[in-house]
């Protein structure tokens, strides 16, 4: 029988080995669909993951509502550790988002929006933002907040490059 410390060590090695291919550890900017593919398979989209979680929570009655076109007050996308996310201003939670998708909070179930997905607003220059942020070596340094000018990202990249934390 294998001792407990050996099992723990093997578990840590397994997780460490998988971290480079998991969400937000690749050298790309991640969207909600990337998270779904990591967790559910190559053909998955984020809505598949939402539905799976609603089934697990025994909220199957919400599935058809969630699939409808997003309505209501929009949420705004930000980049956090190489992932596009939006914060729920109803409960304070956050979730990964896609440029053409809706936002559904699995914490509050968008109760204040009649359980409907909400529109997501991405910045008009989101591809330009991604171009600057992907130059940063570490995902934890790939962040952007609403209203932050692209010039700030360029200046930060120069500062990070001087510390060896940028690819360029």
pLDDT at 67: 94
pLDDT at 137: 87
Handedness of CA 70, 42, 81, 165 (dihedral sign): negative
pLDDT tens digits, residue range 104-141? 999 999 999 999 999 999 999 999 999 999 999 889 99
Low-confidence ranges of the chain (pLDDT < 70): 1-25, 165, 167-168
Would you list the domain boundaries of the chain? 23-162
Task: Name 49's Cβ contacts closer than 8 Å, sequence gap at least 6.
Answer: 32, 35, 36, 39, 40
In this structure, what is the dihedral angle of CA atoms 18, 56, 114, 90, given to the nearest 10 degrees? -40
The pLDDT, as a whole number, for residue 21 is 47
pLDDT given for residue 16 in this prediction: 44
Question: Model pTM?
Answer: 0.82
C-beta separation of 84 from 77 below 8 A: yes
């Amino acid at each position: 029988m294998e001792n407990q410390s050996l099992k723990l060590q093997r578990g840590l090695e397994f997780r460490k080995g998988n971290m480079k291919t998991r969400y937000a550890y690749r050298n790309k900017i991640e969207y909600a669909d990337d998270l779904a593919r990591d967790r559910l398979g190559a053909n998955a989209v984020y809505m598949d993951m939402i539905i799976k979680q609603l089934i697990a929570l025994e909220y199957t009655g919400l599935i058809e509502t969630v699939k409808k076109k997003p309505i209501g007050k929009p949420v705004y996308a930000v980049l956090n550790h190489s992932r596009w996310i939006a914060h729920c201003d109803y409960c304070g939670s956050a979730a990964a988002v896609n440029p053409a998708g809706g936002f559904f909070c699995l914490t509050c179930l968008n109760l204040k929006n009649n359980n409907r997905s909400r529109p997501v607003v991405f910045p008009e220059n989101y591809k330009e933002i991604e171009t600057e942020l992907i130059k940063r070596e570490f995902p934890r340094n790939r962040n952007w907040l609403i209203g932050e000018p692209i010039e700030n990202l360029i200046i930060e990249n120069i500062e990070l490059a001087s510390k060896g934390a940028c690819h360029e």
